[in-house]
Amino acid sequence: MPPPIAKVVTDIALDREFDYLVPAELAGQLRIGSVVRVPFGRRWARGFVVGLAARSDYPNLKAIESVTTDLPLFDERMLRLARWIADYYAAPFESAIAAILPAAVRREGARFKEQLVARVCPDAAPAPADEAALAKKSPRQALAWERLKQCREATVAALAQETGVALAGLRSLEKKGWIRLAKGVVRRDPHARMTVLPTTPPPPTAEQTAALAAIRREMEAPQPGVVLLHGVTGSGKTEVYLAAIRAALDAGQGAIALVPEIALTPQTMERFRGRFGDTVAVLHSHLSDGERHDEWRRIAAGQARVVVGARSALFAPVRPLGLLVVDEEHEPAYKQDEAPRYSARDVAVMRGHLEGCAVVLGSATPSLESYRHARAGKYRLVNMTRRVDRRVMPTVRVVDMRLEAEKAGGAHLLSQELIEAIRLRLGRAEQTMLFLNRRGYATTVMCPACGEVEHCPNCSVKMTYHRQTDLMLCHVCGAVRPAPAVCSNPTCRAPNVKMAGVGTQRVEAAVKKIFARARVARMDSDTTGAKDAHAEILGRFRRGDVDILIGTQMIAKGLDFPNVTLVGVIQADLSLQMPDFRAAERTFQLLTQVAGRAGRGDVAGEVFIQTYAPFHPAVQSARTADFETFYDQEIELRRELGYPPFSRLTSVLFKGADEAAVNACARDFAARLRAALPAAVRLTGPAPAPLAKAKNLYRVQLLLWAASARNYVPALRELLKSFKAPKGIAIAANVDALSLT
Ligand code: ADP
Ligand code: ZN
C-alpha cells in the first residue's frame, strides 16, 4: 500500500508544499515527480508530487483529482538537486522545480506530435500487372507506392508533398491491402536536415592520454570527484571529452556536455554527432518547443544517451549518468539571470556529487574559483600545455597605442604594425580576425563646446551611434533617436558635435578604406539578427569567401578556422574599464580566447593586442599565455580585498520607477536583514548600482559578504518570503553574483 498522503508543490508561486490525500484509485500511478491536478482554494491548480507520507499534520485534507502525465518528470535525486538549488540560491522551491524541467515538457498539454503515417503492409506483394495498371490509371498513387516501397513508411503529409498524392489515393492503396494508414508519433528532430559523416577518434597525444586516464580514474572511483582540465586553446580538450564520453557509454552510462550557448555552433554539434550519431540529443534555446519536448523525452526513454547543450541541459534526465562535462567552465553565461539564479557549473558539481558521477570542468583560462579548488586539492588538476600536432602557440605582440598616437599625431584605430600584418595576410591568402567588444559606429556623440553627451532618456548610459541607420541607439533599452546635428543641450546648441569612441562598424569602415579590395564581413548582434545569419557569415568565412572578419565576443570563442593566422584586438582596454572587480580576470580570459583563434592550422599564428595599458597584468599574462602568473597576482589582490573566491558575494537588487520609494524599500529591507544576520556577515549599501537606471527603472543594490553563503542565505530567503515590497518594486537576490552592474 503506498502512503496515503502526497506533498505537492503547485505552479502558483508560494514557496510551500501542500498535503493532499491520495485516492485509492490513483495510488498505483502516483510517484515522486508525477504531475497532478489538485483543488486549490476555489480553483484548480497543477502541481508536482515532491513527497509521499503516511500521515499529515493538517486536518481536512482535500484529495488529488487526477494524474496528468504518463510518467513522473523527475526522480528522487533530481528532486534533491532542486531542493539544494532553492536553498542555496535563496529561490522559491517551485522556481527550482521549473528550472530542472524544460517548459516544453512541463507545460500543460505537452505531448508528442502525432500524424497520419502510411506503412507498407509486411505481406503486400502486388503483381507487376497490377502495379502497371495503377501507373496508367493513377500516376500519383503509383509514385507514392514506389516511394513507400523504398522507405517502408512515411507521413501522409510528406507523401503528399513529394508525390502530390491525396489522402483518398492512399486510402485506395490501403483498400488494395498494399499499405496501412495509422496515427503515429513523428519525431521533431532538430537535425533532420543535417547529415553528418561518422568520424573516428585520432590517435591521442601523450597529454590527451594522461588527461583521459585521470578522468577515467575519477569515473571509476567509489566516490567520483571533479577534474579541472586546464588546457591551452587547441590542446585537444574536446577530443578528451569525446573519449571520456565514449568510456561512459561503454560502461553502460550516459553523459552530459555543457557548452556556453555561444559555442553551440553547427561545428560543435557535428563533432558530437559524428562520433556518437543518433544517440546525441541537443537542448538549447534555439530549438522549437516541439523539438525540445521530443529531445527531452528521447533522453528520458534512454534512446539518447549523450546530451549536448547550454546551461539547462545540465538537468537532462540521463540515467544512469556517468559523466558531466562543463566546457569553458569560466564562462559567465553559465549563470542564469532569472530566479533561481544558479551557476550551471556549480550545480553540475553538485549534481555529480549527489549522483556519484564524475565531473570535468575544462578551460584554457579557468575561473579563479575553480583553480583555487584545484590548488587546494578539492579538484584534480590536469594540465595540457601544448597544442596538438606540434602546432605552436601564436606569437602575441602588445601594441602601445599611446606611442602610436604620438607617432601618428592623434589617435588611430589601427596601428601601423597591425595594418602591415593584415596586408601580409592578404598577400598570402590567409585570413584575419579583428576583435572589438562593442558594436555600433561611435560609442557616443559629444559636443566639443559644452561637453554634453547624448544620454538615453530611459537609462543611465550613453547612446551609441549606428551609421547604417544614422540613428542613436541605447544598448540597454533599445531606445532610438535621430543623430543630432547640433548639441542637444538647450543652452548650448553648438554645431559640429563629435563622434567619440569606436564600435565594430567604425572598424569595418576603417578597414574597408585601407584595404579597398579585401572581402570584409562583420559579425555582431546587428548583423546576426536574422535566423541563420550567424551560421551564414561563419560559413562564408570558412569557405574562404571572406578575408577579414570583424566582430564582437561572438567571434572570440570556440571557433576553429585553420586558415586564420592573424588576430587583432582593437582595444583591449574596453573590458579593463568595466566597473567590476572581475574586470582583469575577464580581460585575461577574453584576450586568451581571442588569441587562441590564431594559428590553428599549419601556419603559425600572430596576435596583436592594441592597448593604452600595455603593462597591465591581464595584458602581459595574455601576451605570455601564462595563466599561473596571472592567477598568482590576481588571487593575492582578491585576498587582500576580501573579494571572491575569499568570500561568497551576493547582491540584492531593488528596481522601481520611483527613485525615493526604491531607496526607502532597500533601506528597510537592509535594516531587517541586518537584524537577522550574524555579525560575521558584512553588508554594504544599499547604494545605486553602477547601471543606476535602466528602462526607466532605478536600480539600487545591497551586497552581502561572508566566508560562506550559508552564513546569510537562510535569513535572506526567509526575509524574501515574508517581506512585503511596495507595489511596483521588484527585488532580486543573486547568490554568487557574477555581474554587479
Ligand atoms: P580545444 O578544445 O582544446 O580547443 P580541440 O579538441 O578543438 O581543442 O582540438 C583542436 C583541433 O585539433 C581540432 O581540429 C581537433 O580535431 C584536432 N585534434 C584534437 N586532438 C587531436 C589528435 N590527437 N590528433 C590530431 N588532431 C587532433
Ligand atoms: Zn536606454
Note the pLDDT tens digit of each residue in 569-621: 998 888 887 778 888 999 999 888 888 888 877 788 899 999 988 889 899 99
Q: Cell numbers of 650, please?
A: 551576493
Q: Whose CA is nearest to atom 4 of ligand 1?
A: 234
Architecture of domain 5-75+93-106: 3-Layer(aba) Sandwich (3.40)
H or E element at residue 400:
strand 395-400
Pocket of ligand 1, candidates 197, 385, 388, 557: which has the most ligand atoms within 8 Å of its Cβ, to mutate? 388
Cα-to-centroid distance, 477 and ligand 2 (Å): 4
Ligand nearest to the CA of 474: 2
Residue 1 has pLDDT above 60, yes or no: no
Q: Distance of alpha carbon 599 from its chain centroid, rounded?
A: 26
Neighbours of 579 (CB within 10 A): 10
* pTM to 2 decimal places: 0.85
Distance, CA of 93 to CA of 300 (rounded, Å): 23
Neighbours of 535 (CB within 10 A): 14
- Classify domain 395-439+503-637 by CATH number: 3.40.50.300
Topology match between the domains 206-390 and 648-735: no
Residue 109 has pLDDT above 70, yes or no: no
Is 661 within 8 Å of 430 (Cβ atoms)?
no
Q: pLDDT tens across 162-206, in order? A: 788 887 888 888 888 888 877 776 666 777 666 667 788 899 999
Neighbours of 595 (CB within 10 A): 27
Q: Cell numbers of 689, please?
A: 548600482
User: Could you tell me the CA-to-CA distances from 618 to 69, 141, 646 in Å, in that order?
Assistant: 53, 70, 20
Domain boundaries, the chain: 5-75+93-106, 113-186, 206-390, 395-439+503-637, 648-735
Buried b vs exposed e over 246-260: b needs ≥16 C-beta within 10 Å? bbbbeeebbbbbbbb
Backbone angles phi, psi at 268, to 5 degrees: -65, -45
Give the CA count within 13 Å in the CB-facing half-sphere of 574: 20
Residue 263: its pLDDT value, please?
66
Among 349, 331, 337, 378, CA closest to 735: 337
Q: pLDDT tens across 396-433, in order? A: 999 998 888 777 665 678 898 999 999 999 999 999 99
CA of 204, closest atom in ligand 1: 23
Query: Which one of 3.20.20.70, 3.40.50.150, 3.40.50.300, 1.10.760.10 gives the CATH number of domain 206-390?
Result: 3.40.50.300
Q: Cell numbers of 138, please?
A: 493513377
Q: Cell numbers of 489, please?
A: 543641450
Is 66 within 8 Å of 112 (Cβ atoms)?
no
Check pocket membership of 592 for ligand 1, CB cut-off 6 A: no
CA of 233, closest atom in ligand 1: 4
Check pocket membership of 205 for ligand 1, CB cut-off 6 A: yes
Check pocket membership of 239 for ligand 1, CB cut-off 6 A: yes
Check pocket membership of 202 for ligand 1, CB cut-off 6 A: yes
Q: 648-735: what fold?
A: Alpha-Beta Plaits (3.30.70)
Neighbours of 478 (CB within 10 A): 11
Residue 237: its pLDDT value, please?
93
Among 81, 79, 73, 66, CA closest to 29: 66
Distance, CA of 70 to CA of 424 (rounded, Å): 64
Residue % of the chain over a pLDDT of 70? 96
Distance, CA of 566 to CA of 605 (rounded, Å): 6
Check pocket membership of 599 for ligand 1, CB cut-off 6 A: no
Among 695, 673, 698, 699, CA closest to 684: 673
